[in-house]
Amino acid sequence: MPETIALVKFKSFSATEYMEYSYKTNIENLKENDVVVVPTNNSYSIGYFSRYSDNKQHIRNATKVIVQRVDIEAYENMLFLGGFD
């Protein structure tokens, strides 16, 4: 599967809230605001998928790879169905 560039945003209360960061991914069908786990400088963070890109600058900036998409719907279903009881 070809490598794709995904742009990811992070929720914060600073000016960087609206910045998009480039990550490589092989995950297909990401939708806007899907929650993804990404490596950061010292650890991992959750971010929100913004869009795919084929922009040359985004391709150059992408040095890290998205770890995975978080299945929020499955998690919420498990809670609703009493998965921890």
The predicted model scores a pTM of 0.83
Asked whether residue 42 is assigned to any structural domain, the reply reads yes
Q: How far apart are CA 34 and CA 63, in angstroms?
A: 20
Give domain status of residue 57, yes or no. Answer: yes
Residue 15 sits in which domain range?
Answer: 4-80
Please provide residue 79's backbone torsions phi and psi, each rounded to the nearest 5 degrees.
-65, -45
Tens of pLDDT along the chain (85 residues)? 458 999 999 987 666 567 899 999 999 999 999 999 999 989 999 999 999 999 999 999 999 999 999 998 888 888 877 766 5
In a domain, 24, yes or no: yes
Phi-psi region of 66 (alpha: psi -120 to 50; beta: other; left: phi over 0): beta
Domain count, the chain: 1
β-strand pairing of 44-53 with 4-9: antiparallel
How far is residue 24's CA from residue 3's CA, in Å, rounded to a whole number?
A: 6
Residue with tokens 């998009």: 20
